[in-house]
């Protein structure tokens, strides 16, 4: 999985006025915690953070605080403004390359579903899967081939198999499907009506 370097400055616990002042300066209050790691409060530039949040990919984050040694982490929880939609606070979870990491990995759909070629409608319900794996085994994305997806069929999370990776998303969660539409059903009915019954000759051409 790709890494994203994010620089920040440690901070002390502050009241609402202090936190508000940070945000006016274009800084986002953050928190780093995890097993065996002392809770660390810090701020990052909102502009730098957008590079991480606005990407369609998931990243292992290399946090460089006060210019020191990078600490490896993943995004854990985000708080956004209810109206302006800007990020107000971020929680990062420290991770260890020797222990499994739980993270969301984006899905990449490929192929042309046979059901769509028959007139069905394709629908994608999930954009990412929650997985767990060692850092070295984490994929940048998960490819799902829909070429064999027929009418009224679906692909669920349990259908995805990756070496060295455990899928944490509910195995029955639907990733995508193709459903029959009214036009598809009508066309199928017309074909059935036009087809000669068994033992009957096809109508002669005029």
> What is the token pair recorded at 58?
């998931």
Q: Is residue 200 over pLDDT 70?
A: no
Examine the domain organization and report whether 61 and 108 are in the same domain. no
Examine the domain organization and report whether 11 and 86 are in the same domain. yes
Percent of the chain with pLDDT over 90: 76
Is residue 148, in this structure, part of any structural domain at all?
A: yes
Examine the domain organization and report whether 88 and 108 are in the same domain. no
Is residue 29, in this structure, part of any structural domain at all?
A: yes
Using alpha carbons, list the distances in angstroms from residue 24 to 17, 18, 174.
11, 10, 42
Using alpha carbons, list the distances in angstroms from residue 107 to 24, 48, 56, 118, 176.
36, 25, 10, 24, 11
> What is the token pair recorded at 117?
């070629």
Is residue 23, in this structure, part of any structural domain at all?
A: yes
- Higher pLDDT: 122 or 38? It is 122
- Higher pLDDT: 162 or 36? It is 162
Is residue 156, in this structure, part of any structural domain at all?
A: yes
pLDDT tens column, 68-127: 999 999 999 999 988 888 899 999 999 998 999 999 999 999 999 999 999 999 999 999
Which of helix, strand or coil describes residue 20? helix
Q: Domain range holding 158?
A: 102-194
Examine the domain organization and report whether 110 and 58 are in the same domain. no
> Of 78, 95, 112, which closes a domain?
95
Is residue 199, in this structure, part of any structural domain at all?
A: no
Examine the domain organization and report whether 111 and 89 are in the same domain. no
Question: At 84, which CATH number?
Answer: 2.40.240.10
Examine the domain organization and report whether 127 and 83 are in the same domain. no
How far is the C-alpha of 128 from the C-alpha of 169, rounded, in Å?
9
Return the pLDDT at 76. Answer: 92
> What is the token pair recorded at 170?
């509910």
Return the pLDDT at 206. Answer: 44
Among 76, 95, 70, residue whose Cα is nearest residue 4: 70
Is residue 201, in this structure, part of any structural domain at all?
A: no
> Of 56, 79, 95, which closes a domain?
95
Examine the domain organization and report whether 27 and 78 are in the same domain. yes
Examine the domain organization and report whether 89 and 128 are in the same domain. no
Q: Is 111 left (phi over 0), alpha (psi -120 to 50) or beta?
A: left
Using alpha carbons, list the distances in angstroms from residue 84 to 43, 56, 80, 88, 148.
20, 21, 8, 10, 43
pLDDT tens column, 173-190: 999 999 998 766 555 555
Is residue 205, in this structure, part of any structural domain at all?
A: no
> Of 66, 95, 124, which closes a domain?
95
pLDDT band at 191 (very low <50, low <70, confident <90, very high): low
Examine the domain organization and report whether 113 and 84 are in the same domain. no
The total number of structural domains that make up the chain: 2
Is residue 17, in this structure, part of any structural domain at all?
A: yes
């Amino acid at each position: 999985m790709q890494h994203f370097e994010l620089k920040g400055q440690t901070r002390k616990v502050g009241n609402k006025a202090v936190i508000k002042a940070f945000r006016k300066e274009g800084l986002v209050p953050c928190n780093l915690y995890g097993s065996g790691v002392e809770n660390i409060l810090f701020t990052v530039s909102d502009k730098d953070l957008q590079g991480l949040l606005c990407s369609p990919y998931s990243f292992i984050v290399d946090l460089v605080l006060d210019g020191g040694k990078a600490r490896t982490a993943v995004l854990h929880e985000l708080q956004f403004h209810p109206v302006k939609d800007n990020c107000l606070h971020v929680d990062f979870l420290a991770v260890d390359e020797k222990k499994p990491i739980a993270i969301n990995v984006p899905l990449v759909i490929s192929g042309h579903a046979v059901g769509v070629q028959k007139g069905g409608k394709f629908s994608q319900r999930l954009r990412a899967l929650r997985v767990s794996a060692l850092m070295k085994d984490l994929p940048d994305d998960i490819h799902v081939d829909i070429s064999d997806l027929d009418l009224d069929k679906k692909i669920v999370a349990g259908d995805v198999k990756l070496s060295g990776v455990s899928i944490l998303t509910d195995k029955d969660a639907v990733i995508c499907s193709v459903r029959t539409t009214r036009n598809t059903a009508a066309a199928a009915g017309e074909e059935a009506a036009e087809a000669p019954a068994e033992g009957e000759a096809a109508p002669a051409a005029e």
